[in-house]
Structure formats: C-alpha cells, structure tokens
C-alpha cells in the first residue's frame, strides 16, 4: 500500500499543471499520510489527507473531479482499493468586502506609504473565515 500511495500522491501533483488554466490558480495538497506501524511490515491500509484549493468554484469542482478520477485510476492500475471523501461543505475562497478592503488599503497607505501596500496579492492558505 505504501508504493500505491506514493504513486497516487505523485499523480495528484499533476492535476493543476495538466488541467487548470495558469491564470486561474489552484492547488492540491497532501498534508498527512498515515500507514503502517513497523518498518518491516507492509500495511493493509494507508490514509491520505489533503485539500484542494482554488479561488473559483469551477476550478474547485474540477480539482475534486480529477482527484476522484486519478485516485480511482491509479488504484485500479495497481490492483488496490481506494476511496475518496471530501469534507462537506468545502471551504470556499475568501472574498474580501470591497468597501472594507478599500478602507484597509487606504489606512495602510496613510501609515506606511502607498508604495509599501499591495492590493493584488492573493494566497492559497486555508482558513475558516470564508463561510
């Protein structure tokens, strides 16, 4: 199962480069791997945990579809069973209130100067404030 898991993780990392327009950002992260308890025993089960993230709902949906497809196809090719579940509801991208963002930008510019304020900066960090 460890080898199959490694193949799945590698294949998942191709999703964004092969399926997402470079101008529409997305990421598929595998952040946890759990499997096995001894160095000389092949585990029966390995669990991965990760998160797809995107700014656009259509990209998020594409990432989720491709994760399911790739896991199923790689597992089938290696003769192992695999299942994919996503936390529901998934955390949507955070969209700042335009008026509040403008106020913060103007206040920051007044404090540190406009040349030190970036208003075009987006990150793929996960958070719980989008709901």
Q: Are residues 15 and 71 in the same domain?
A: yes
Cα–Cα nearest to 16, from 8, 27, 24, 6: 27
Q: Are residues 56 and 117 in the same domain?
A: no
18-24: Cβ within 8 A, 24+ apart? 19/62, 19/63, 19/66, 20/54, 20/59, 20/62, 20/63, 24/54, 24/55, 24/56, 24/59
How many domains does the structure of the chain reveal?
A: 2
Prediction pTM value: 0.77
pLDDT tens figures, 95-131? 788 899 899 999 999 999 999 998 777 776 656 666 5
Residue 55 sits in a domain whose CATH number is 3.30.70.360
Look at residue 83 and tell me if it is in a domain: no
Q: In the chain, how long is the greatest CA-to-CA distance?
A: 62
Give the range of the structural domain holding residue 59, as residue numbers without chain letter.
Answer: 2-78
Query: DSSP states of 47-58 as a string?
Result: EEEEEEEESSHH
Look at residue 30 and tell me if it is in a domain: yes
pLDDT tens figures, 28-75? 999 999 999 999 999 999 999 999 988 888 999 999 999 999 999 999
Look at residue 85 and tell me if it is in a domain: no
Q: Which two tokens stand for residue 126?
A: 């996960």
User: Given this model, what pLDDT does residue 128 score?
Assistant: 60
pLDDT tens figures, 13-31? 999 999 999 888 899 999 9
User: Given this model, what pLDDT does residue 91 score?
Assistant: 72
User: Given this model, what pLDDT does residue 11 score?
Assistant: 98
How far apart CA 16 and CA 44 sit, in angstroms, is 30
């Amino acid at each position: 199962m460890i080898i199959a898991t490694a193949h799945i993780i590698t294949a998942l990392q191709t999703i964004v480069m092969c399926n997402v327009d470079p101008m529409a950002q997305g990421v598929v992260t595998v952040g946890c791997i759990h499997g096995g308890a001894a160095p000389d025993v092949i585990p029966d089960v390995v669990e991965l945990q990760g998160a797809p993230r995107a700014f656009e709902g259509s990209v998020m949906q594409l990432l989720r579809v491709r994760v399911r497809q790739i896991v199923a196809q790689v597992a089938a090719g290696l003769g192992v069973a695999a299942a994919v579940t996503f936390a529901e509801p998934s955390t949507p991208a955070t969209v700042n209130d335009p008026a509040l963002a403008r106020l913060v930008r103007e206040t920051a510019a007044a404090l540190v100067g406009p040349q030190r304020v970036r208003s075009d900066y987006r990150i793929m960090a996960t958070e719980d404030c989008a709901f």
